[in-house]
Amino acid sequence: MIKPLSEEVLLRHMRDMDIEQISKATIRQAVSLSSSLESILGEPFSRLEIGVPGLKACQEGIEAQKRALDDGIPAKYPSIEGLPALKNAASKFLKAFVDIDVDPQCIVPTVGSMQGSYNLTLACSQLTPGRDTMLYIQPGFPANLTQANVLGVRHEAFDIYEYRGEKLREKLESYFATGRITALLFSNPNNPTWVCLTDDELRIIGELANKYDVIVLEDMAYLCMDFRNDLSHPYQAPFQPTVAKYTDNYVIMLSSSKIFSYAGERIALVAFNNTLFKRRYEALRERYGMARLGQCFIHSFLYAASTGTSHSAQYAMAAMLQGAVDGTLDFVKDVSEYGRRAKIVKDIFVKNGFHIVYDHDGERPIADGFFFTAGYYDMDDETLMRALARCGISAIGLNTTGSGQYGIRVCVSALCTDEDFRRLDERLTLFAQNF
Amino acid sequence: MIKPLSEEVLLRHMRDMDIEQISKATIRQAVSLSSSLESILGEPFSRLEIGVPGLKACQEGIEAQKRALDDGIPAKYPSIEGLPALKNAASKFLKAFVDIDVDPQCIVPTVGSMQGSYNLTLACSQLTPGRDTMLYIQPGFPANLTQANVLGVRHEAFDIYEYRGEKLREKLESYFATGRITALLFSNPNNPTWVCLTDDELRIIGELANKYDVIVLEDMAYLCMDFRNDLSHPYQAPFQPTVAKYTDNYVIMLSSSKIFSYAGERIALVAFNNTLFKRRYEALRERYGMARLGQCFIHSFLYAASTGTSHSAQYAMAAMLQGAVDGTLDFVKDVSEYGRRAKIVKDIFVKNGFHIVYDHDGERPIADGFFFTAGYYDMDDETLMRALARCGISAIGLNTTGSGQYGIRVCVSALCTDEDFRRLDERLTLFAQNF
């Protein structure tokens, strides 16, 4: 049984790493701090900050990628439009699990959804003079705001905490009505809160996207991981909910990182609605000589950014998507392990006096998944995270994710074994006794 | 023996593809046009426009990448700083073949040199208020200018044709003295002319970079492919010439695409001079909370762009670089095949009345390599390319590469067999007889 580190030790290590506020540290600083405190503690930290896949990579992908390597694929530039087999499999996958019709030609691979959202942000900022602002539903993935900052794209954001259900309409409309919002970005299920927007909320977003001609960028990094419903059967309801049911103004980002535990190979897809893909924008024609959004996105934006995505990884993703469509690869079952872990970890937190911050979708308690949010009475992020660090627990402060609430993001991917759970419980008990 | 296609057939096909001027068509349009004309011609085109590796991918890379896949690497996000084995091998490689000392920490993988130049362009435009302009030595890779256009970065360019040797100083100085140039980009050897800057020219660039505090972005896509000198022996002179001998204000881009025929996997490296890597910029500190160029480039720019480069491909490139350093992988010998082909193809062109447009580096005739430039008397690009297309030959017009000279870029990578050479000769003869 460990003892809490002294405040003095913590502050000294923070000073050594140039960290003024632990709740505002970068992930990299946070990881370095945990590593150096571990050596004082004499035991590994309970790492709740790391959002990496905690499962093995899909073997179907690995086998297909190895075959592509043996076939000499590395010598050939990938088509910037993407491997036909990948585009076709993705089109079928979107039908099978999201119940939407997207033509293969409207789907293009990207170097992770990061490259997708980065280039969509940039492209959307250039479509219509005056429409220059991105809107982000928060809490969200801080990297998306970094992208806008790097690119110099104007952006706004709001915390969804107070605006669930019908309240979302008025809030969104207050931004959309300015005429400056070109696109709205959110993830569903959501990183970091695991909020899953309800069908009512998605309908509101879709209706307003139509009314104000805003493009909706829907990040499906955690597709089919709302385990309250069994979304595992291809071509069978229920399906992954999507804003695509309510508007044609959508672009979906679909990453291999979490659904197939294939994060290392940096491959994802961007899928444009068929009509939006072909929509002409005068500003694109003037600047690039290509008026159609889809064509310009691929041949100007993605071409300039990296001239395509790893050729062999495209074969891997094609095989995994096809396996899922054919029912030979049950990816939902594989990732449901995260739901199992989340249930255990949430119970440990609640038992020790914590509450779930973002706790409901409409009437339903939030799902168990990759992330959840936890607060401790009215303790602010900095106080909470310092106390947790002294007890050997590292996490991410909600303030860094655009939340206005106090608390931390807990990621369950690095908690794998009963020993991990036992250790976390012991430390949270220690925390509750001392703070 | 084919007959030239009629002008009417050519114009009809151009109209069908919305191509007004063949010399201004995009690569994609040009490829489509060739494909549709092939069906009329009844024989394959001589494809001189395609700049893809014409060799097999390095087996050492393939084997290492397959091992990484078997080890489950796809499940793990790559470190955004790059695989240590890759950084270490790259540092040794730069010592062995370029004779420069770059610390492993100053080297970071990118998704091809495209991602490198894209993010260097963006970063350099944000370093110092007022220094907002990129300068490109032309002819060059048109995609680099597309990058500046996509990013909205101000840029200038000039054709080096009239400014070889000491004349380069005054020309560069006319741009640098404005105080607005933040970085100069060129490739050496050069795409599309195969110009290899002489040591005198590199010294001029370095001296001016020091005097005006301009960062030099040196693209080594075709490293060690100036076959006039044997650059194949690690740690033995002669070495790949570089501006790094004359300034610390340099960043080198080193791609696996051509030197290891590994273009499909989209992996390259950016290597910062050790001092430049650590240099602090107040504007970066204000915008990103990170003042040091190298740290900010990796953790803000590359992180936002794609969160790293294919994990398994990093193992491949590490193995190939290490093999080259150890002398077990003679990549220079492998790619010298391009030199052999260039000699044959140049002779065919010259025999049929063409001249080499960019023909000397200082006193020496230009080297035989991946590309060369060819002109036909004073025929302009559009006339020349239409006539060549009617004879079954496709190429890229020099005008699209920022050249002020008439002519075409010839890439020899797709010409592999004696039959390819024979067919090209037959068609150029046909061309010379008819135009």
DSSP string covering A34-59: HHHHHHHHTS--EE-S--S--SPPPH
Instruction: With beta carbons under 8 A apart, name residues in chain B contacting A114.
Output: 304-307
Q: Would you tell me how many other CB atoms lie within 10 Å of the CB of residue B314?
A: 28
pLDDT tens column, A42-100: 999 999 987 788 899 999 999 999 999 999 999 999 999 999 999 999 999 999 999 99
The pLDDT assigned to A18 comes to 83
The pLDDT assigned to B27 comes to 76
Contacting residues for A423 by C-beta, under 8 A, at least 6 apart: A43, A44, A46
Structure tokens at A257: 């990182």
pLDDT tens column, B245-257: 999 999 999 999 9
The pLDDT assigned to A50 comes to 79
Domains present along chain A, CATH in parentheses: 7-55+331-434 (3.90.1150.100), 59-326 (3.40.640.10)
Annotate A201-210 with b (16+ C-beta within 10 A) or e (fewer): bbbbbbbbbe
Annotate B336-375 with b (16+ C-beta within 10 A) or e (fewer): bebbebbbbbbebbeebebebbbeebeeeebbbbbbbbbb
- Which class for A20: exposed (0-12), middle (13-18), buried (19 or more C-beta within 10 A)? exposed
ipTM of the assembly?
A: 0.96
Q: What share of chain A has pLDDT > 70, as a percent?
A: 100
Structure tokens at A428: 């949270």
pLDDT band at A244 (very low <50, low <70, confident <90, very high): very high
The pLDDT assigned to B32 comes to 86
**In angstroms, what CA-CA distances link A71 with A61, A311, B430?**
15, 11, 38
Judged by CB atoms closer than 8 Å, whether chains meet at A266 and B28 is answered as no
CA-wise closest residue to B137 among B122, B115, B159: B159
The pLDDT assigned to A51 comes to 77
Instruction: With beta carbons under 8 A apart, name residues in chain A contacting B69.
Output: 62, 65-66, 69
CA-wise closest residue to B297 among B153, B134, B122: B122
For residue B5, the distance in angstroms to the closest alpha carbon of chain A comes to: 29
Structure tokens at A58: 């899909």
Amino acid at B90: A
Structure tokens at A123: 């492209």
Structure tokens at A349: 């937190």
Q: Would you tell me how many other CB atoms lie within 10 Å of the CB of residue B50?
A: 18
| Rounded-to-integer distance, Cα A315 and Cα A119, Å | 23
Q: Would you tell me how many other CB atoms lie within 10 Å of the CB of residue A435?
A: 17
For residue B60, the distance in angstroms to the closest alpha carbon of chain A comes to: 11
Judged by CB atoms closer than 8 Å, whether chains meet at B266 and A312 is answered as no
Structure tokens at A339: 């739901």
- Which class for B110: exposed (0-12), middle (13-18), buried (19 or more C-beta within 10 A)? buried
The pLDDT assigned to B313 comes to 98
For residue A191, the distance in angstroms to the closest alpha carbon of chain B comes to: 16
- Give the sign of the dihedral formed by CA B371, CA B376, CA B379, CA B385: negative
Greater confidence, A140 or B18? A140
- Cβ atoms A159, A404 nearer than 8 A: yes
Task: Of A27-31, A153-157, A221-225, B272-276, give the lowest mean pLDDT range.
Answer: A27-31
- Cβ atoms B341, B412 nearer than 8 A: yes
| Rounded-to-integer distance, Cα B383 and Cα B79, Å | 51
| Rounded-to-integer distance, Cα A232 and Cα A29, Å | 38
Per the listing, tokens 């135009």 go with B435
Give the strand pairing for B408-411 and B371-375.
antiparallel
CA-wise closest residue to A262 among A118, A50, A55, A79: A55
Residue of A nearest to B304 (CA): A147
| Rounded-to-integer distance, Cα A263 and Cα B95, Å | 33
Where chain B has pLDDT below 70, the residues are none
Structure tokens at A386: 């310092």
pLDDT tens column, A324-369: 999 999 999 999 999 999 999 999 999 999 999 999 999 999 999 9
Interface test with B, best of A62, A118, A124, A317 (most B CBs within 10 A): A62
Strand partners, B270: B108, B253
Scan residues 29-88 of B and list those with Cβ closer than 8 Å to A.
Answer: 52-53, 55-57, 61-62, 65-66, 69-70, 72-78
Interface test with A, best of B55, B77, B119, B335 (most A CBs within 10 A): B77
